[in-house]
């Protein structure tokens, strides 16, 4: 058998090893070649193909770096959208799922040196909701699809319309209350004008008060004359009685004074 036969145990073992994930630092993004150890990576860096790719990179490094960064970000968000669209998940879990593909864009070829920096970038740009916890960084995908944005806009529009309707109803109720108060004010003023005004009289002790009772409207003719005569007779009788009481009271007072003097 030849030394580099396809079916030799060594060749099979090499292919099995090549299928698995290797160390990130031994991967060349420009050449898209994964090396198994440090020695292989050094040999690759000295090869002509790698040198040609590095010359291309040296001509416009910013453009190539930004291109790899955009591709990495796009693939990462696509994985989030596909696998964890509505869930809060640890950033390390998503990254481990992302690097299962051997030919993924490696992070060492992007503008982010660590996963933490990339997660912070997603939070700053509003592409994911980022939370830092004692267990690590957690991210939640923010769906920016046209359909989702349209639904959000419609929802916000409905909320605004409901708020406007509530404000209109409140204004109508306030107007009705004001109208009712305006109608109530003249009625209260009329009632107050009809009610008699009462005043307190602060009189000293010993002062006599006289009351006069006003009679109602009396019918004209003989009935009115008869009523006047009756009232006059009653008044005369009351006057006589009062005079007799006063005289008797005076007599009693004089008799008491005479008795005291005699004693």
In a domain? residue 60: no
In a domain? residue 224: no
44 and 112 share one domain: yes
Condensed to tens digits (0 to 9), the pLDDT of residues 10-42 reads: 777 766 665 555 666 777 777 877 777 788 888
In a domain? residue 140: yes
Based on the structure, what is the number of domains in the chain? 2
Range of the domain at 112: 20-48+67-144
In a domain? residue 175: yes
User: Tell me, what CATH number does 138's domain have?
Assistant: 1.10.10.2030
- Nearest partner of 35 among 17, 58, 11, judged by Cα: 17
187 and 78 share one domain: no
Tell whether pTM > 0.75.
no
In a domain? residue 234: no
Condensed to tens digits (0 to 9), the pLDDT of residues 58-101 reads: 888 888 888 888 989 988 988 888 888 888 889 889 988 888 87
27 and 133 share one domain: yes
Considering 1-5, 6-10, 67-71, the range whose residues carry the highest mean pLDDT is 67-71
In a domain? residue 85: yes
71 and 38 share one domain: yes
Residue 209's pLDDT band, with cuts at 50, 70 and 90, is low
Which strands, in side-by-side order, build the sheet including 128-133?
88-90, 136-141, 128-133
In a domain? residue 8: no
93 and 140 share one domain: yes
What backbone torsions phi and psi does residue 133 show, to the nearest 5 degrees?
-125, 170
The percentage of residues in the chain with a pLDDT greater than 70, rounded to a whole number, is 68
103 and 157 share one domain: no
Quick one: 243 exposed, middle or buried, by C-beta within 10 A (0-12, 13-18, 19+)?
Answer: exposed
Q: Which residue's structure tokens are 């690590």?
A: 136
24 and 129 share one domain: yes
136 and 170 share one domain: no
140 and 119 share one domain: yes
For residue 1, the model assigns a pLDDT of 45
Cβ atoms of 44 and 35 within 8 Å: the answer is: yes
Q: Say what angle helices 115-125 and 61-83 make with each other, to 10 degrees.
A: 80
Q: Return the DSSP state at 188.
A: H
96 and 43 share one domain: yes
């Amino acid at each position: 058998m030849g030394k580099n036969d396809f079916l030799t145990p060594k060749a099979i073992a090499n292919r099995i090893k090549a299928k698995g994930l290797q160390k990130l630092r031994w991967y060349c993004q420009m050449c898209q070649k994964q090396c198994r150890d440090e020695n292989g990576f050094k040999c690759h860096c000295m090869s002509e193909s790698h040198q040609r790719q590095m010359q291309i990179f040296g001509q416009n490094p910013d453009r190539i770096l930004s291109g790899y960064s955009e591709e990495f970000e796009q693939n990462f968000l696509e994985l989030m959208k596909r696998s964890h669209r509505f869930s809060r998940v640890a950033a390390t879990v998503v990254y481990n799922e992302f690097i299962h593909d051997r030919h993924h864009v490696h992070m060492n070829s992007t503008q982010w040196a660590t996963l933490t920096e990339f997660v912070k970038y997603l939070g700053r740009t509003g592409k994911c909701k980022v939370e830092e916890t004692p267990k690590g960084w957690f991210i939640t995908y923010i769906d920016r699809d046209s359909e989702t944005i349209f639904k959000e806009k419609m929802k916000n529009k409905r909320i605004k319309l409901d708020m406007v309707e509530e404000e209109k109803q409140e204004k109508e109720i306030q107007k009705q209350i004001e109208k009712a108060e305006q109608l109530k004010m003249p009625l209260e003023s009329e009632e107050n004008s009809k009610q008699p005004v009462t005043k307190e009289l602060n009189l000293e002790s010993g002062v006599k008060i006289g009351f006069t009772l006003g009679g109602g409207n009396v019918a004209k003719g003989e009935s009115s004359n008869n009523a006047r005569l009756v009232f006059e007779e009653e008044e005369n009788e009351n006057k006589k009685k009062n005079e007799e009481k006063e005289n008797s009271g005076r007599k009693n007072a004089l008799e008491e004074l005479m008795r005291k003097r005699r004693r």
